Amino acid sequence: MKFKISWPTGIIIAMSAFIIFILSFVYKATFMPQYDHHLVSDDYYKDELNYQQEIDKLNKAATLKKDVTLTKVAEGLLIKFPTEFDPEKITGTISFQRPSNDKIDFELPIKLITADYLISDDNLVQGIWNVKIEWVINGTTYLFKEKLMY
């Protein structure tokens, strides 16, 4: 016995199969935790309002004789601050943000004895990091930002 499908029935079956296929992807992207989608920052709009202040801090840092440098060494990541300042007077924070996984983001306070700051390998996972160093000295705030492939 042959099974015959008329062409209108075939079109309806094909369209139904396509709609089910697309809806399954929408369901996966929306409700399944392994396809988690998020903004880089939870406070995106608040951060946008403070962006001009961030630009001013970046411009102040650009006027320095020597900029902050990031170097990968055997022990971890070495951050060298400008030597034109007394390292013990520098305060601030170093933020590491992982674009692919916000659960491993971390922030460290700056407390220096020398112009060098070492972050051990235990804290950093291989991959791309957004590094943001904001430091204050003599009442002036400076900002350094860099994308780092660790």
Helix or strand (DSSP H, E) at 11: helix 7-31
Q: What is the CATH number of the domain that holds 128?
A: 2.60.40.10
Q: Are residues 105 and 68 in the same domain?
A: yes
Do 23 and 55 have their domain in common? no
The pLDDT averaged over each successive group of 10 residues in the chain (150 residues) is 85 96 91 68 73 88 88 90 87 89 87 88 86 91 90
Range of the domain at 120: 44-149
- ∠ Cα 53 57 58 (to 5°): 115
Tell me: do 57 and 28 sit in the same domain.
no
- Total number of domains in the chain: 2
**The pLDDT of residue 141:** 92
In a shared domain, residues 21 and 65: no
C-beta separation of 133 from 79 below 8 A: yes
Same domain, yes or no: 49 and 29: no
